[in-house]
Amino acid sequence: MRRITVLGFVFMLLSAFFFGVSGPVAKAFYEVGWTPGSVVSLRLAGAALLILVPTLIALKGQWGQARRQWRTVAVYGLVTMAGVQAFFFLALEHLSVAIAVLLEMMGAPLIIVFWLWARSGRRPTVTTGIGVVVSLIGVMLVLDFSGSSASWIGVVFAVGAAACFACYFLISSDHTITLPPLALTGLGMTIGAAAAAVLNLTHLMPAQFVFTDVTFAGLRVSWMVPAALLVLFTVGAYTCGIIGLRFLGPTVGSFVNLSEVPFSALAAWVILTETLSPLQVVGGAVILTGICCVKAGNLALKDQ
């Protein structure tokens, strides 16, 4: 396996870890009265402020590129930052974590596979198809559906999150975007934070902040502890994701990101004291098998 491919897998696994842990961390805020609007605003505004200086440093000599690619940067911020966060956390108000994650994680890779098929006219290989099926079986094994509930509005929000997430993979892996990953992340988060603020102020996604102690990993801690972790994980997830996707491409990258599901289950076990069953561990191994099949199928397609 080439060194670039290995680096791509490492960065995508790091991104999946940060994304996976963010969900249970955010869920801890809901228990004390925070709303999706407040969680999204904290996540994006905090992350944008945290990397403001590094973003400006990364943009040194790159402002011309940023101006020429402003449409892409705007879409990146509005869709892949604000859109993904808003739709997913709104879905969590109406669906169990398992159902919401399932719809987002299964939806995004499938949208990418069919989008690239429609655009290029090149049908995915049989190996890729097998990898898709195996990966999705693994996702279903990891997710615990006992006591899960669903509502149509929640399903709509989750599918919206999947569509926005698919855009994240497609844009992040686009080699015509010459901005450094950190610069693209910082600009996107700034735009996303501004969009979240508009949604808050217009009450389309109301924000309610409750500054009190929260239960985190079985302990009562200051709200600032999970807030700091959420901001750090957000920066790590998007920055590592852009780097990894530029190495692996959207198809393989989106399936590697399915490892977010077992990471999320493990984090929920530690942070929210949700039980992790042996079947979920097996599901994680099945997901990795599917990822290998998708990668093999992608290599075979390139050789055709």
pLDDT tens track for 207-225: 899 999 998 888 899 999 9
| 214 domain-assigned | no
| 208 domain-assigned | no
pLDDT digits (tens, 9 = 90+) for 52-100: 999 999 998 888 888 999 999 999 999 999 998 888 878 877 776 667 7
| 210 domain-assigned | no
Residue 249's pLDDT band, with cuts at 50, 70 and 90, is: confident
Q: What is the arithmetic mean of pLDDT over 134-160?
A: 75
pLDDT for res 299: 61
Q: Identify whether the C-beta of residue 207 lies closer than 8 Å to the C-beta of residue 198.
A: no
| 215 domain-assigned | no
Q: What is the arithmetic mean of pLDDT over 183-198?
A: 93
pLDDT for res 150: 59
Percent of the chain topping pLDDT 90 = 32
pLDDT for res 176: 87
| 167 domain-assigned | yes
Domain count, the chain: 1
Residue 298's pLDDT band, with cuts at 50, 70 and 90, is: low
pLDDT for res 144: 59
| 98 domain-assigned | yes
Which domain does 239 fall in, by range?
3-202+221-303
| Residues comprising the chain, all counted | 304
pLDDT digits (tens, 9 = 90+) for 173-182: 888 888 888 8
| 290 domain-assigned | yes
| 18 domain-assigned | yes
Taking all residues of the chain, what is their mean pLDDT, rounded to a whole number? 84
pLDDT at 268 exceeding the cut of 80: no
Amino acid identity at 201: L
How far, in Å, CA of 6 to CA of 300, rounded? Answer: 18
